Amino acid sequence: MTLQLKVPNMACSACGETITKAIKTVDAAATVTTDPKSKLVKIETEVSETVVRQAITDAGYSVA
């Protein structure tokens, strides 16, 4: 499944890396693309959106 989430407080590519790592802790096989300009995070994953949202939140970011 492909998810597209907006993370307004992803300010730079380092934030994107932190978010990518957080998602990979819940799904090591996930493909994550982050764009700090558009604040969009695209995730190709087998886990549920709820789990991905929780991982991002736990890393200190908010999902719109």
Per the CB < 8 A criterion, the answer to whether 63 and 7 are in contact is yes
Q: Which long-range contacts (CB under 8 A, 24 or more apart) does 21-24 make?
A: 21/59, 22/55, 22/56, 22/58, 22/59, 23/52, 23/55, 23/56
CB closer to Cu ion, 15 vs 30: 15
The correct pick among 11, 21, 35, 60 for binding Cu ion (CB under 5 A) is 11
CB closer to Cu ion, 36 vs 47: 36
Q: Name the one range near Cu ion by CB under 5 A: 4-12, 23-31, 37-45, 53-61.
A: 4-12
Q: Does 12 bind Cu ion (CB under 5 A)?
A: yes
